[in-house]
Homo-oligomer: A and B are copies of this chain.
Amino acid sequence: MMNLTEKLAELNKKGCTLTIQRHAILKYLYKNRTHPTVEEIYYSLKKKFSAISKATVYNTLELLKNYGFIQEITIEKGKLHFDYEVEPHHHFFCHKCNNIYDVNVEGCPLAGKKMIDGHKIEELRPYIIGTCSKCL
């Protein structure tokens, strides 16, 4: 997994302006691996950057996603979550506590595949829904 410094350097190399807001958002995701929502990111950053705007949070997350530096999670209905980790892994969503857990599943037949049924594969989002160990 690419650490924060590496990712920032990579972003810079690709010509992306590294504003204080973008830095802060990526750093937040690096430190908080709980798959935070936009809401959570926004309110946490507001403590340090009281003037930050939601639009910036949305724009930056979109930007970082398009660069391939973060991953968007559409597991919870009507709400976006984000993940610093972009290496393929499964997400488990507990519908009781609404938490998202990383899980590792070996032997996925899609791993490394570029095409399926004539469609070009660009991203995998393998979600598992259920009740987590804590809620059981």
Interfacial residues, chain A to chain B (CB-CB below 8 A): 72, 74-78, 80, 90, 92, 94-95, 101, 103, 105-110, 116-133, 136
- Chain B residues near A121: list those with CB within 8 A: 128-130
Contacting residue for A103 out of B75, B80, B116, B127, CB 8 A: B116
How often does this chain occur in the complex, in copies? 2
Min Cβ gap A3→B in Å is: 25
- Chain B residues near A118: list those with CB within 8 A: 132-133, 136
Min Cβ gap A38→B in Å is: 11
Complex Cα distance, B120 from A118, in Å, reads: 34
Complex Cα distance, B128 from A130, in Å, reads: 20
- Chain B residues near A120: list those with CB within 8 A: 130-132, 136
Contact indicator A125/B80 (Cβ below 8 Å) = no
Complex Cα distance, B90 from A105, in Å, reads: 16
Q: Please give 7 more A-B residue pairs, beta carbons under 8 A apart, in addition to A105-B110, A121-B128, A124-B127.
A: A72-B77, A74-B75, A74-B127, A78-B80, A92-B117, A120-B132, A124-B128
27 example contacts (A-B, Cβ-Cβ < 8 A) are as follows A74-B77, A77-B80, A78-B80, A92-B116, A92-B117, A103-B117, A103-B119, A105-B109, A105-B110, A105-B116, A106-B109, A107-B107, A110-B128, A116-B128, A118-B132, A118-B133, A119-B136, A120-B130, A123-B128, A124-B127, A124-B128, A124-B129, A125-B126, A125-B127, A125-B128, A125-B129, A126-B126
